[in-house]
Structure 1
């Protein structure tokens, strides 16, 4: 991002676009990638080849959307006044005057126009009539060249602004992610500290899950989900010990609350522990989502450790568990302080 800002300040439009393209590819911003490729490749065939290589993993509908939307945005950016060197695009009400020059050629084109103007000098030995004719012709040519230079400068400014705004957007996006990660780290720390002081079993299982989080192995991802399932059961064991037989729960439904029915036990604990309030209803909804996820984990467990598990599913499971426990621990600490109005 800093390189983009530096190139923009220095007016290096080609370098700014290439740096922005590199950043968009790095963060997986396919629309940004398509836009900056259009800036670099004025030839539609070259653009189509490169964008296909970048987005070959996407579905046909997604690639079509990227092509159409990036073209429409690029056309809006490059629509200029009706000048002799501006290409007409479309027809009727959709007719546009589109200035087609690659960002890589903008500076070179400006320099070439300036050199062409400088070369238009009248030879000193030319007669009066020839001088007048050449002067008239040169004035007309110089006027067109100056118009082209102004259009090139305008386009250069538009492209530089595009690069800068993209870098600013990514900067804000990353800043928001840092805040989110800081909150998640704080939540994780509070949950671990809570159970470190109250349940060594839950604490140990959470630590084992954390150790598997960064692994890219399919087996470790499946193991991570297994550890999440074990942690959920340990939480249920801590808050609501198994009971034999069938019991009528707080919602009026009869359920088994035995060793293997840890989901029922955790559900019953949340419903019986807190008085009804808005925050309690939210916690109950979170409990339903977590236990639905736990049921899916049980299904995966029946397939063995080598079940087809993605990294996003594994991380989602651990994140969901931590957020549920964070909210639960917060409510319990407030309740211990004698207040139910959190």
Structure 2
């Protein structure tokens, strides 16, 4: 979904006083963004029937736990009541209790307003009426018009509140998109710096990073396991570049013997950080990043190898790629600084 265009359409509908279309636009954005609470709220504005709303809310969020579904149902009802509870009474029931909650769907508001305006225009006295009839009809029309105008006032109040809620939601999404664009710009800069760094130093690392980026751009869910594999290959290629495989067991800098062969690329990377970079807080941070990245990749690889496709999504695989780029970005900064020093 193009959120920018969707928000723009919502704002256009608000400016043109097409509140029902604005609500449908907000509902579409909320559903697509999996913003379940606001989706439930805008659903209520379209379908005020409680049972229908409940069915659609639960259909929209089948993956949520029952407690979460009930919470969303409850909070969305409370926020719906905030909009539909009036500061004045429309009528009283047989027990004398005032009725100040108007249940109306947003799509019904404008047609009902037009209907009531026509009804008021139709309340005209016929010529030639008896003075007593004129007085009786005038009094009756006055009372009916007062009730109709009260109803019109209620409808306009609710319409204005819904319009304000749509506007606030659209502005909120606009701000969110702006922040995301800034974050994406930062991620793009990190990716660009890493690609340029390894393009000048290792064709193999660079080519594997490019392959991983292509898989990340794919919308095919089957590419998730392929992306994981490519992230692992890229990390191994980095290890091959900085610390080539060594046969047999090697006494590492921490006094422990380890295998640093072709498959032990994580051990080789860890040893490179220990011996290739001076002791510092920055090196410790790099080591922590490597440990976190390695743990994350191992977990997802284990899931993929067991065929747990439902739990290994393309989004999770992308997290591995992002983690790889940030690790390599910090590594590149250290290596550049070391060379310049």
TM-score by length of 2: 0.85
Does 2:34 match 1:31?
Answer: no
Residues 147-166 of structure 1: per-residue CA shift (max 9 Å, x gap): 22112111111111111221
Q: Which residue of 2 aligns with 1:224?
A: 227
Deviates further, 25-34 or 120-129: 120-129
Verify the 8 A CA contact 1:196 1:203 in the aligned structure 2.
yes
Residues 9-29 of structure 1: per-residue CA shift (max 9 Å, x gap): 111111221222222233332
Does 2:21 match 1:15?
Answer: yes
Does 2:267 match 1:264?
Answer: yes
Does 2:164 match 1:164?
Answer: no
Cα distance between partner residues in 2 of 1:96 and 1:229: 65
User: Could you tell me how far 1:111 is from its partner in structure 2?
Assistant: 1.6
Which 5+ residue runs of structure 1 have no aligned equivalent?
none
User: Could you tell me how far 1:300 is from its partner in structure 2?
Assistant: 5.6
1:314 pairs, out of 310, 314, 317, with 317
Q: Secondary structure at the match of 2:100?
A: strand
Cα distance between partner residues in 2 of 1:19 and 1:321: 37
Q: 1:169 to 1:218 in 2, by over 3 A?
A: closer
Q: Which residue of 2 aligns with 1:67?
A: 73
Q: Secondary structure at the match of 1:123?
A: coil
Aligned-residue Cα RMSD (Å) equals 2.7
Q: Which residue of 1 aligns with 2:330?
A: 327
Deviates further, 121-130 or 223-232: 121-130
1:249 pairs, out of 249, 253, 257, with 253
Cα distance between partner residues in 2 of 1:86 and 1:214: 60
Q: Secondary structure at the match of 1:98?
A: coil
Q: Which residue of 1 aligns with 2:286?
A: 283
1:204 pairs, out of 204, 207, 214, with 207
Cα distance between partner residues in 1 of 2:114 and 2:237: 72
Q: Which residue of 1 aligns with 2:4?
A: none
Q: How many corresponding residue pairs?
A: 329
Verify the 8 A CA contact 1:187 1:322 in the aligned structure 2.
yes
Cα distance between partner residues in 2 of 1:216 and 1:12: 35
Cα distance between partner residues in 1 of 2:37 and 2:336: 46
Which 5+ residue runs of structure 2 have no aligned equivalent?
1-6
Verify the 8 A CA contact 2:197 2:332 in the aligned structure 1.
yes
Verify the 8 A CA contact 1:80 1:86 in the aligned structure 2.
no
Cα distance between partner residues in 1 of 2:300 and 2:71: 35
Q: Secondary structure at the match of 1:11?
A: coil
Paired residues for 1:64-103 under 5 Å: 64-85=70-91, 97-103=100-106
Q: Secondary structure at the match of 1:241?
A: coil
TM-score by length of 1: 0.85
Q: Secondary structure at the match of 2:87?
A: coil
Deviates further, 147-156 or 126-135: 126-135
Verify the 8 A CA contact 2:243 2:272 in the aligned structure 1.
yes
Q: 1:118 to 1:335 in 2, by over 3 A?
A: same
Q: Which residue of 2 aligns with 1:3?
A: 9
Cα distance between partner residues in 2 of 1:279 and 1:191: 18
Q: Which residue of 2 aligns with 1:292?
A: 295
Q: Which residue of 2 aligns with 1:55?
A: 61
User: Could you tell me how far 1:45 is from its partner in structure 2?
Assistant: 2.3
